Amino acid sequence: MSKLEIQLAVENGDWPTEAELEALSARVLGAASDFIAREEGQPFPEHPVEVSLVFINDDDIRGINAEWRGQDKPTNVLSFPAYPIEPGDRPGPMLGDIIIAYETVAREAVDLDKSFSDHLTHLMVHGFLHLFGYDHMETGEAEEMEGLETRILAELGLSDPYAGQEAL
């Protein structure tokens, strides 16, 4: 039984087709949820948890980032948990929203010499972990979160996105 029910909206931006994004998000978030359940003991409710993925452009994410984080600039991904939980807490029926900005993802993929799909996959995993209470504001938290991201991405056949970097 699937642990997730993914709701997807493509608002604006030069994104792949909705069908492609649905297939990618099901594969990526499915792998991430399976991994944290298996490796981290993350409990899930009996019924699938709903997660929303919203694909937008830099202008729109800039406004959201300014309103909710006080940072008047575009960013790659924002996560909004439906309910605040800590890693290991059982989520409610609504996990939360992951919002991703096209232009920033595309620009960063070029800067990092990665494919758009690989970078988007990383950001989906990153945003998903935030919904479970993982964070990277302090070094110890960053090391834990980045370690999880790296291990999940390895299961998806992707290299360590943090190789050669210090923890955020």
With 0-12 / 13-18 / 19 or more C-beta atoms within 10 angstroms meaning exposed / middle / buried, residue 126 is buried
Tell me, yes or no, whether 59 lies in a domain: yes
CB atoms within 10 A of CB 58: 21
Tell me, yes or no, whether 41 lies in a domain: yes
Spatial separation of the C-alpha atoms in residues 104 and 108, rounded to whole Å: 6
Tell me, yes or no, whether 160 lies in a domain: no
| CATH code, domain carrying 90 | 3.40.390.30
Question: Tens digits of per-residue pLDDT, 28-49?
Answer: 999 999 999 999 999 999 999 9
Q: For the chain, how many structural domains are there in total?
A: 1
- Backbone conformation region of residue 85, classed left if phi is above 0, alpha if psi is from -120 to 50, else beta: beta
Tell me, what amino acid is at 67? E
Tell me, yes or no, whether 164 lies in a domain: no
Secondary structure of residue 41 in the 3-state scheme: coil
Range of the domain at 136: 4-155
Question: Tens digits of per-residue pLDDT, 124-167?
Answer: 999 999 999 998 767 777 788 899 999 999 999 998 887 765 54
